[in-house]
A and B are shown apart, each in its own frame.
Chain A
Amino acid sequence: MRNIFLVIRREYLVRVKKKSFLVMTVLGPLLFVAFYGTVFWAAASSVDTKTVQVLDESGLFRNKFKDSETLKFVFTDKSIDSAKAAFPSSEANALVYIPANVIKAPKSVRIYAAKNVSLDLKSDIEKVIEKEIEDIKLAEAGITHKILEDSRVNINSETISLSEEGEKTSSSGAATVIGGICAFLIYMSVFIYGTQVMRGITEEKTSRIVEVIISSVKPFHLMLGKIIGVALVGLTQFVLWILLTTALTSATSAIIGSQLSKESVQVAKEMNKAQVPGQGMPGGNVDNPVTEVLGAVASLNIPLIIGCFLFYYLGGYLLYSALFGAVGAAVDNDADTQQFMLPITLPIIFSFVFAQFVLRDPDGTLAFWTSIIPFTSPIIMMVRIPFGVPAWEIALSMVLLILGFMGTTWIAARIYRVGILMYGKKVSYKELVKWIFYK
């Protein structure tokens, strides 16, 4: 036991003292904050006004194009040819040409611009024209704008989960986000830290220190020590990331203060507008989306999610890192690992891809089975848990995961024991199987 502890301590300290660990620990939250900063900045800075010249031969659209924060419309009565000729010297960013017969031939509308027109601008202009033509056609059919407006309903349903504790407002949106984030974190850490275990073992093998070490430590203990040591490194990094990110975000928002929040609300509002075109005038009873999300998050069973996250994070990591370790022991150098990596990485990638489908249908047959089978359960079950999963399914999945990593650790230990002292031999799958059953 003492030796396992010594191995864990070494593996942990060596990695934590590395410069790259420090860099990643500091850089991670910075990147996170920088990412969100850029998003807000980009959203805020895109609010610069563009001028659009409109040449309306049909006469239907005069005063229909409303200036917005981003677009300013200028009407011109020139002929199309002279307007085109004058365009480069004008200050306009685009020239919209609406021919006289636009109602009969809507596709004849043209947008001229010096550079390519952005998709946003194009769709903005198209929307106005489409709507106007629609209105005209509707009016011809005897339907007024008012009737149409009344017939439009905006549905933003609330999902209510029924449980024994009674009704509880939940939000499938929040569940989706949390499930997705958990799945992604598990996916990333299995890869990052599993590979670290593999590298560490190959390093010991290539530097030949392993023979010295296993003359003092049992190979199984050495392997286990490494796996646990790296797991602790991963946990340390997570905790530091969470602490640093929290500190950084609160510091940043304190500095930028109200400005940022004002902008973000504006951005959110604009997004709302864009998503619901033709909703007419805003400022109705739009709930603050932030409080809505916060409320939904609070409605989730947070302790359960955190508990399960830790369990599946560790379980998934243990299951896969043992296999990664076996690969590390079977080969002589990093370059040779490729051939054995595929069968290990495949189920991880597979479950990550599957997670997207499970997010849409968290209670389907596919979701059920993949969240029970140990190789996919760490990711898939984490996706399902925020949506609510029957206790017996969680229990079954957990028991199977424990059995699963005990199984992979057993297999890995047997490959490891033979592999670490085997040099200069290209190992085949057949050979590996032989090692497993080797007395």
Chain B
Amino acid sequence: MNIIEVRNVTKEYSSHTALDNVSLSIPKGCIFGLLGPNGAGKTSLIRIINQITGPDSGEVLFDGVPLNPNHISRIGYLPEERGLYKKMKVGEQLLYLAQLKGLSQKEAMEKLKTWFIKFDIKTWWDKTIGDLSKGMQQKVQFVSTVLHEPDLIILDEPFSGFDPINANLIRDEILELKQKGSTIIFSTHRMETVEELCDHIALIHKSRKVLDGPKKEIKEQFKTHTYFVEYKGHLDELDPIYQILDRRVTEDGYFRSDIHLGGETNANALLLNLLSKVEIRAFGENIPSMSDIFMKAVNEVPEA
């Protein structure tokens, strides 16, 4: 079951096309990475899901139903450009934002209490937002995003502005939310976050979707069938089904080569072949990192 289905969505602005016939599905209960270079159209898509703007054509289904105002309270949104009322007090502000999302004052109060205890920020209630540090403001904003326990949480660069300790705290919260059944959309440039947290990804480039699917499958798809080996000795020639791609010297005086495997062989055979020639220190398959995939996918797209 998909919580979000984007179907053939196109969005044009006066000077450019932000989204060009984009379709993608976001399965329920996953952490979905929405990737793409700056200006690719991610924010436009997020704004459409949030009903801040509407698509020019195409439609978006939420839980199988076309988007409607009732869905607003089921979404939590943390925009990339963070912002709170600078002169308002933390408590008042969070109550206000929670009530806008449909909670009653009493419900909001109860939920806020647990979050204030969890984040150990009880003393902040009467502080003015402007008096808090940037990291502290981020925490407050994160609370406001998830307070109403939305089914879908959209986080645009959630870790920017956090120190590693707080970033970890937020990461744990995100994982906990996922466990409780929320679906999370990450829009980010940080590939290590994607690597670590996302189950599904979609890559948008130049207003088009160029890639999407479960992370595992995509990695499989981008495998180069190459293995690396670190060794001492001379490795000049191998069986022709193995293609030595390069040879570098590592910092501690070993050589490192990438070897491409042809169709009919496997890692064991290559290893046997190598054993007789060089002294091996390390051996393994080159698994493409998200960063590699990102670069590759983006560069493969022809200039529009």
Contacts and interface: CB of A to CB of B under 8 A. Distances in A.
Interface of A: 3, 6-7, 10, 14, 203-204, 207-217, 421, 423, 434, 438-439
20 contacts: A3-B100, A7-B100, A14-B87, A203-B86, A207-B84, A207-B85, A208-B79, A208-B82, A211-B79, A211-B81, A212-B83, A212-B84, A212-B97, A215-B72, A215-B77, A215-B79, A216-B97, A216-B100, A421-B47, A421-B52
Interface in B45-93: 47, 50-52, 56, 72-73, 75, 77, 79, 81-88
Residue among A6, A14, A207, A438 with max Cβ neighbours from chain B (10 Å):
A207
Contacts of A207: 83-86
Interface residues of B, number: 26
A421 B14 CA distance: 15
Interface string B4-28: 0000000000100000000000000
B222 interface: no
B99 interface: yes
Contact of A10 (B56, B83, B96, B141): B96
The 6 closest A-B pairs by CB, nearest first: A208-B83, A209-B83, A216-B100, A208-B81, A211-B79, A215-B50
B84 A209 contact: yes
Nearest to A7: B100
Nearest to A209: B83
B101 interface: yes
Nearest to A208: B83
B144 interface: yes
Contacts of A216: 72-73, 97, 100-101
Contacts of B79: 208, 211-212, 215
Contacts of B83: 207-212
Interface of B: 14, 47, 50-52, 56, 72-73, 75, 77, 79, 81-88, 96-97, 99-101, 141, 144
B95 to A, nearest CB: 10
Given A10-B96, A214-B52, A421-B52, 19 more contacts: A6-B96, A6-B99, A6-B100, A14-B87, A203-B85, A203-B86, A208-B79, A209-B84, A210-B83, A212-B77, A212-B144, A215-B50, A215-B51, A215-B75, A215-B77, A216-B100, A217-B100, A421-B47, A438-B14
A288 to B, nearest CB: 52
A196 to B, nearest CB: 14
B48 to A, nearest CB: 11
A213 B73 CA distance: 12
Contact of A209 (B14, B51, B85, B99): B85
Contacts of A204: 85
Contacts of A209: 83-85
Nearest to A213: B100
Contacts of B99: 6
Contacts of A10: 96
A14 B95 CA distance: 14
B156 to A, nearest CB: 9
Contacts of A208: 79, 81-83
A208 B81 CA distance: 6
Nearest to B97: A212
Contacts of B50: 215
Contacts of B96: 6, 10
A439 B55 CA distance: 11
Contacts of A421: 47, 52
Nearest to B148: A216
A223 B27 CA distance: 36
A360 to B, nearest CB: 46
Contacts of B81: 208, 211, 423
Chain B CB count within 10 A is highest, among A204, A207, A215, for A215
B83 to A, nearest CB: 3
A210 B50 CA distance: 13
B17 to A, nearest CB: 15
A438 B87 CA distance: 34
Contacts of B77: 211-212, 215
A203 B86 CA distance: 9
A213 B144 CA distance: 11
Contacts of A3: 100
